[in-house]
Structure 1
């Protein structure tokens, strides 16, 4: 779902308003009051946890949907009003600025093979939409720059904390020009045939359109994200569609400081890293795979969380079992210390993870689509919500808001087909928020 970009011809005008679908539903298992900001089967999905979900004023949640023909939408958390916030389609990741009321994304240019980076003035857009005085799309959307032909730009664009530079992936030919001498491109890794390189990262100044190369690496790049609290710092991954030889990486905007973020062992399955504060990155060290028969001693039975779950292929190698420490891990970018905040006692273990920027909470989902909250000080863990249907089109992907008081997920709880997802807000329990 993350890699799948909603793009294409707009079916509605920017600023168009849609009726509220807001519903408050009590979780049937945990009793948590869930606020569904969308509740109809449009095929909604949230922005990936590596990126902000709320506008800088904290009032609107931006999401992807087919409600407006594949255009980006925003929903007001209090009123439930839904507003179209793009026109002309987009590709890749939606980027919300944390300081300005701006949205950035990529979309195909009229010249095939090139991409535009587009800036949307959300403050003007919301005001004119509410007043019924919408103007042409060009009054709200500005082309910040266009990538050169042959760069093969695309992927997970990320807006820097300074809100002046946007990072994006470049293809093999462009990356090869900047690859260090003697570095050999990696071959595909794992049963999905992904991971081969080289790939690179470039950056564009969204005020001037200037483009600079950042770094080239010998493998396939995925999940480019900026440290939203520290300008000029990038985190990205070696993308294989599963276990990587070395999943997490970090580099500075000028190309210096390239290194593994968390140097992993062959038995560790590291995935779904997300920058959560100025100095910290959350990630999952998976414990979702069976321990081979006899591994626990002569005649010991195999243990398994179910072959239908992802990542069970033997071709991934000896990783992802609970023979070694696993769970929701948090790595400090400065000290390089890693701690494990928690892990589910059974099942797949935590899969997509995030944390509050104040360091109080961590959150994760698992293969059952349940969402777990962890108090990082006491290590207490509770189930916030479940019943989101393991048949859903994707995982919940929990992501905290700026002040760490609530979490956005995507959920199929209300869907009749068991797959279609909606946008849902889960509160941190009031009694937890009162803790000192």
Structure 2
């Protein structure tokens, strides 16, 4: 029998489509993997919005996780390499929401159905600083409402219909890294390179050197802004140290929070500055014995911080002082990090530790709670109504704190210390649930999935007396 070449070509094409990897086209839909699992220790009913080992991870807890309509969560995933995904919390359906890749932080608007991110458009070596990349980045806006509607209708158009280039940075400023969306949602802030940052520092500024065994923290560094309507770029501030974890106050336009990034303990971790470059100051002035980390804006006037209590108290003060100045370090342990001697004497429970809440206006700090043993609370967050605080620990367990009564309960555990990353809890805008990333379902004990943890119904029903006027 003679084979029809047209039919053979069509059959081969169909076979290739069936075996090919997921399409890289924006709007591509993926079937639901939604599962509700009972925590074997606490009994909490956990909703896993993804449940297969596809390289999922949530957006960092410094940023918004939900779309403005409250229906979708956006996350990073390997389902389509280098592209971001959205999952519908009720149905579990997933949609690819970027095309062409992204870099750095995903920024979900709270007032509109928009997504913002950076995309590299070039990277060369700067002629005046071999270690300072000269690159341009585009700031991209995604129209999520149109994207979700067309994807559901099966009538997708070219990516340019949904993705808009807000502007492109000049390569000489070395833009990249963290990005944050202003509370007015008309400006984004991002890091700039050392060469650009140095231009805006006084000539006699003492530049910080690396701090700690990870050889990080050296400056200078800076922040710049871009108007997402006009593409106009402005320099915000330069500092003599390495900047990390750039975030904004979603309720107060023009207020920026960032950190001195060392990969561990910093001489002064938390910082705040206004969009016009004024008001630069430490957010929480810390002592040498305090290990402050993982700050997150949680309310119009509040930032949650972790003051770590993860290191053993050394009763031999002379030995502690010697160890703090020595380059010798203990063997790093990803499950119990920060034990290297070269970090210095901070992080023990000889002094107060726990989940701290800093008031941006009064500058007062209160401790909301602390675990009785173990590492203490590590990555922290809170509800914007002031009712709850939440934190994880080195065991990947999740603790909920009632800020009115100081009661603390274990919400969920069993998320595996071997996981590829930490839970990074983030409250929903309405304060009724918490998003984490979890390896609980993973056969390899490492790959993570997107998980929703509810605040117990009995806690949500609690009533508190009105404060005195």
Q: TM-score, normalised on structure 2?
A: 0.88
1:280 pairs, out of 283, 286, 302, with 302
- Describe the SS at the equivalent of 1:357: coil
Matches within 5 A, 1:144-163: 144-163=166-185
The residue number in structure 2 matching 1:58 is: 70
User: What's the offset of the Cα at 1:309?
Assistant: 1.0
Query: Matched residues in 1 for 2:111 and 2:94: separation?
Result: 22
Matches within 5 A, 1:308-387: 309-387=336-414
The residue number in structure 1 matching 2:209 is: 187
The residue number in structure 2 matching 1:6 is: none
- Describe the SS at the equivalent of 1:125: helix
Which structure 1 residue ranges, 5 or more long, are not aligned?
1-9, 296-303
Query: Matched residues in 2 for 1:179 and 1:205: separation?
Result: 23
Query: Matched residues in 2 for 1:220 and 1:294: separation?
Result: 33
Matches within 5 A, 1:226-305: 226-294=248-316
Query: Matched residues in 1 for 2:48 and 2:202: separation?
Result: 49
User: What's the offset of the Cα at 1:11?
Assistant: 5.0
The residue number in structure 2 matching 1:23 is: 35
Confirm or deny that 1:222 pairs with 2:244: yes
Q: Is the 8 A contact 1:373 1:382 kept in 2?
A: yes
Q: Is the 8 A contact 1:11 1:69 kept in 2?
A: no
Which structure 2 residue ranges, 5 or more long, are not aligned?
1-21, 125-134, 318-329, 464-469
Confirm or deny that 1:39 pairs with 2:51: yes
Q: Is the 8 A contact 1:23 1:39 kept in 2?
A: yes
Q: If each structure's helix is expressed as a fraction of its own residues, which one has the higher value?
A: 2
Confirm or deny that 1:396 pairs with 2:405: no
- Cα offsets for 1:182-211 (capped at 9, x unmatched): 211100000000000000000000010000
* Runs of 4+ displaced beyond 2 Å: none
Q: CA RMSD in A?
A: 1.3
User: What's the offset of the Cα at 1:291?
Assistant: 1.2
The residue number in structure 1 matching 2:96 is: 84
Query: Matched residues in 2 for 1:221 and 1:33: separation?
Result: 38
User: What's the offset of the Cα at 1:181?
Assistant: 3.7
The residue number in structure 1 matching 2:219 is: 197
Query: Matched residues in 2 for 1:23 and 1:124: separation?
Result: 28
- Cα offsets for 1:14-37 (capped at 9, x unmatched): 000001000000000000000000
Query: Matched residues in 2 for 1:185 and 1:340: separation?
Result: 33
Residues 241, 89 of structure 1: alpha-carbon distance in 2 compared, 3 angstrom cutoff: same
- Describe the SS at the equivalent of 2:172: coil
Count of aligned residue pairs for this structure pair = 418
User: What's the offset of the Cα at 1:149?
Assistant: 1.2
- Cα offsets for 1:391-436 (capped at 9, x unmatched): 0011100000101000000000000000000000000000000011
Query: Matched residues in 2 for 1:383 and 1:145: separation?
Result: 45
- Describe the SS at the equivalent of 1:150: helix
Confirm or deny that 1:73 pairs with 2:91: no
Q: Is the 8 A contact 1:152 1:174 kept in 2?
A: yes
The residue number in structure 1 matching 2:151 is: 129
Q: TM-score, normalised on structure 1?
A: 0.94
Larger radius of gyration between Structure 1 and Structure 2: 2
The residue number in structure 1 matching 2:26 is: 14
Query: Matched residues in 1 for 2:97 and 2:225: separation?
Result: 24
The residue number in structure 1 matching 2:322 is: none
Q: Is the 8 A contact 1:97 1:159 kept in 2?
A: yes
